[in-house]
Every structure is written in C-alpha cells, then in structure tokens.
Structure 1
Amino acid sequence: MTMSSGEDASGKSTARQRERQARRNLERRERDRIYQPTRSAEFDFPKPAPEVKSKLIFATTPRCGSHFICSTLFQTYRVGLPLEYFNPAHFESWGERAGASSQWEALSHLVARRTGGNGVFSAKVHWTHFEALPSDRMRNWFRHALWVRIERADLVAQAVSWEIAAQTGSFIYTQPSWKTPQYDFDRIYDRLVQILTQRAAWSRYFEERKIKPKVLVLEQFLQDPDAQSAALIKALGLPRAKGPRAPSIPVVKSQQREINSGWRSRFVDQLAKRAVL
C-alpha cells in the first residue's frame, strides 16, 4: 500500500517529536547527574547535624567564577558545602526530598543536612535567586550571615562566558555542549547590562543594611587559590570541622576556551567603534 504525502509528513513529524523528547530526557538526566552535589542525599554531611553557628553566604552573579571558588573552598572543610541551593529549581528539589508542606520546612531540611561539622552552613546565591525568595521570613533568615562577594574584574569576559553557556547549555565543564554557539553582539551587551544591574543590586542591599562583605575577585583567586582560601578563612574566623567529612564533590575546572577570548576581542572592538559613532 502506498503511503500518502499527508501520512508521510505526519510520520516525519512524529519521528522529530520522538527525537526532541529523547534529547530532552538525555539533557534532564545529564543535569541531574551534574547537579547531584547540590541536590542528592549522597552529598549530605553525616548525621547528627550540628548546631548552626555560622551562615556563610556568597553573593554572586552568573559566570563570576563562584562555582570554581566555592568548590575550592570546600576542600578546606571549614566552609560547609557552598552550592546554589536557592536556585528555584534546586530549592524545589529539596522540598521534594523533605516531603515539605512549606518552603520554610524545606529550608530547615536543607540546613540540617548541609551544615558542616564545625557548624557552618554555606550557600552561593545569585541576586536574581535572592530576589525571588518567596517571603520576608525567608529573606530574614539571611540576617546576621557572614557575607562574601565573589566578583570578576573582567566583566566583558564574564558576559561572553554567560552567553556561550546560555547558548550551549554547558554551565559546568562536565556538561556537554548541545549546539555550536553563534556570536551576537547585542546578546553579549545585554548580558553585560544584566551583570552590572545585579552587582548594583547587591551593593544597594549591603549599603542599606550596613553590611561590609569580604570580597573575592576571581582573577586574584586564580593566582593562588590556597593562599586566598586561607586568608578568607582566617578573616572569617572559621574553626576546623569536627567529625566525619562530607563526601568529595567533583573537581571543578575552568571553562575558558579559545572561543571565549576571540569573542571578547571582537566585542571590545565593536563596542569601541560604536562608542566613536
């Protein structure tokens, strides 16, 4: 029996849908694997949970190097396990883990399982995630925290890195790229504006509350991570952890690639030409 053109088109459409769904399922499994340290019970600190003596919060913006810096600091076993728990998707998974009836209950569950042996609970928080916290009660929980700002001196490189990650879906070096990124001046410019806006929001938050956070700059940290980590721990007065250590987390590496430097140079050249005009 001969297949009609309509049936042929319908079959191709169904095949494409199955292909897209298979790709989405693969991406979801890959994300779950990569983000296990943020969500999985496998990376909880051993019980019983100690009393929380310090809340250590890293104020961040996308692609500022916070994942690398926080993963390095974790290896000191004095800063808890500072990950992106308050990303709405991650925080929702903690509510599911806890079977929580409220976000406050989810927060309690999270803190009980991710507080280090020295009583330090830590997290890194982008401004957009902090701003999206659902209640004043949640935001007030951050009162009396020890704050550390993580910044990147080269804002253009940060904007380029963000745009490449957004296009490829590769936000951590172990994530595969799902497509070849295409250079776009306007999109990189928008990323740069967003970074500046979020940095200004953090500055305003700290100024209004008379908070003087410690500051880590990625480029300086990369010169001597051990010395920078030791200096921060000393400045914060964080004690040694007691009892069993948390499981190791995957080693984090820089995602800096040749394409990043090429895009950065191209963007700076175009920006200079537009400024002249």
Structure 2
Amino acid sequence: MLARLSAKLSGRPSSPFFASLRDSRPLAKRYLIATTGRAGSHFLCSRIADHANLGFPMEFFNESYISQFEALFPSPNLADFEAYVGANFASPEGVFGLKTDWWRFGVARNLGILQSLVSPPDLVAYLYREDFVAQAVSQTLAVATQIWHSRDVSTHPIADLHAALTYEAAAIEENCRSMLNQEYLWLQFIEQSGAPSLQLAYEDISRDPDPAVAAIAQILGVPLDRDPPPSDAVTRQGTPTAQLWAQRFREDRPDFVAFWSDYRGLVVAA
C-alpha cells in the first residue's frame, strides 16, 4: 500500500505553496519513536505533544495519513507531504519526531519517503514491552475489533467486544513472531546507525510517561519549559479477556514462551 501511494504521488509536480513551507523553518533535531505496536507509543507521543518543545511525533509513514493528506489538497506530491508534515508538526524550535513500526520504516526508507525529516536521527527512542505475550494478545484483540485506542468510537464497551471473540493461539503466536522480528531488526538498525538511543519499557511508560519524555528531551538537549497537567485523553484498554488469553497462551505454548524469553532480540523469529 505504501509503495502504491508513493508511486502515485511521486509522479506529480510539487506545489509552490508547499515549497514555501519547506524553506520556512529548517529542522534542528530529528528523532524516531521506534515501536512494535501495542508498546505504549500512542500514549507516550500524546504526552510528548503536551510539552510542545519536542513537536508532535505521529505515524507519518502510515498509509492513512498520506491518503488523508491527498484527499485534503488538490494533487499533492510526496515532497508536498514532507513539507507539510515538517512545517506543522515540528516544535517552534525545529525539533521533529516520528513514530513508526519497523515494517513501515523499512519500506519508507527504501522509497525515500520523508527522509529529510528522519535522517540522520539525533535519537532513536526504542519502545518495547517486557511482557511480549500480553503485547501480542493486545495486538490480536485490536486487529479483531479494530479498536486501537481508548478514543476510538465504539457502540459497545471494549470489554464486551473482547469477551465476544474466540481465542486463537495461532493468531497470538503469529503476532508474537511479528513483534519479536521487529524488535530484532530495530536493535540491529540502532547498532548499525550509530545514532544515540534510548530504551523505554511499556510497563514504565504506562505508569508515568513523564520520565520518558524528560529522558528524550535531555538526550536531544531540549529544555522542557512547560509542566502540563496529566491528561486522560488516552487511557489503557486492559480487559479480563486480555488477561485470560495471555495466561492461556502461556499454558498452551510453554516452550515457545520460554525460548523467546531467553533469545528475544538475539535471533529472528522464523
């Protein structure tokens, strides 16, 4: 999908309007929120935006963002999208962040999408979840319900939607493997890029994201001049079904869980 969008927009001429945005404010700092899904990136990035000094890191490699941009403006191209994102989501000081999973990051990098905004990164903040089984269960439930965040509109309580689903160990294992592979590839990228990096655990972020925000700002050398009150705009979606499925998967796949508890990040999950 991302490749098709890139091909569609790349053949168009650039708009002089967006070109003026591109030249209006050079970036001073670039950082990546490197995630694997259901690892707290949405919660963390919302809190980063509350502080303002670090910009508003969002999923700009997500196909839906590019599609919505194309729908809003007449015949834009990829350079226009890059100019628009850089001008509107960087901080006044020129600090820009972008969050992405590995799969989209790899495709976007090969296609050259938004490269002036992310390369070279001044920081790669790598998010992971200590409990990879709970993470995979959360992904499986989100895919099945298409409810990804607490702000998503639903006519039924999320706990009821989860309770109506059928447990599938194979789907959970598939999501485990996808996330474990992304973790391995992110760690390889961080090592090879030589960029400053920071590892942030979901379990810590979900309790209090502010220390993570402060750590990102410190590495980037950006002072945080605001002390925004805690926001309840984004909340956790844990349900009894998620807990039951995680426990059942550990019982159904003990060898799988034990192996990846030992070799996580060291080998690819074939």
With the shorter chain as reference, the TM-score category is: 0.7 to 0.9
Residue 199 of structure 1: aligned partner: 183
Aligned positions of 1:240-255 closer than 5 A: 240=224, 251-255=233-237
Q: CA deviation at 1:256?
A: 1.2
Q: CA deviation at 1:102?
A: 2.3
Give, in whole Å, the separation in 1 of the partners of 2:127 and 2:257. Answer: 29
Residue 264 of structure 1: aligned partner: 246
Q: Which of 119, 139, 142 is the equivalent residue of 1:143?
A: 119
Q: Indicate how the Cα distance of structure 1 residues 228 and 133 shifts in structure 2: closer, same or farther if over 3 A, else same.
A: closer
State the TM-score, normalizing by the size of structure 1. Answer: 0.72
Q: Does 1:167 align with 2:144?
A: yes
Q: Indicate how the Cα distance of structure 1 residues 127 and 251 shifts in structure 2: closer, same or farther if over 3 A, else same.
A: same
**Paired letter, 2:207:** Q
Give, in whole Å, the separation in 1 of the partners of 2:28 and 2:97. Answer: 11
Q: CA deviation at 1:134?
A: 7.1
Segments of structure 1 that go 5 or more residues without pairing to the other structure are 1-47, 243-248
Q: Does 1:239 align with 2:223?
A: yes
**Paired letter, 1:62:** G
Give, in whole Å, the separation in 2 of the partners of 1:206 and 1:114. Answer: 24
Aligned positions of 1:1-277 closer than 5 A: 50-133=25-108, 135-138=110-113, 140-141=115-116, 142-145=118-121, 146-175=123-152, 176=154, 180-240=164-224, 251-272=233-254
> Does the 8 A contact of 1:83 with 1:124 survive in 2?
yes
Q: CA deviation at 1:139?
A: 6.4
State the TM-score, normalizing by the size of structure 2. Answer: 0.73
Q: CA deviation at 1:269?
A: 0.7
SS of equivalent residue, structure 2 residue 51: coil
Q: Report percent identity of matched pairs.
A: 24
Give, in whole Å, the separation in 1 of the partners of 2:28 and 2:146. Answer: 37
SS of equivalent residue, structure 1 residue 75: helix
Give, in whole Å, the separation in 2 of the partners of 1:204 and 1:273. Answer: 25
Number of residue pairs matched by the alignment: 223
SS of equivalent residue, structure 1 residue 259: helix
Q: CA deviation at 1:165?
A: 0.4
Give, in whole Å, the separation in 1 of the partners of 2:191 and 2:211. Answer: 28
* Root-mean-square deviation over aligned CA pairs: 2.7
Segments of structure 2 that go 5 or more residues without pairing to the other structure are 1-22, 259-270
Q: Indicate how the Cα distance of structure 1 residues 49 and 151 shifts in structure 2: closer, same or farther if over 3 A, else same.
A: farther
Q: CA deviation at 1:214?
A: 1.3
143-152 or 171-180, larger mean C-alpha shift: 171-180
Q: CA deviation at 1:118?
A: 2.1
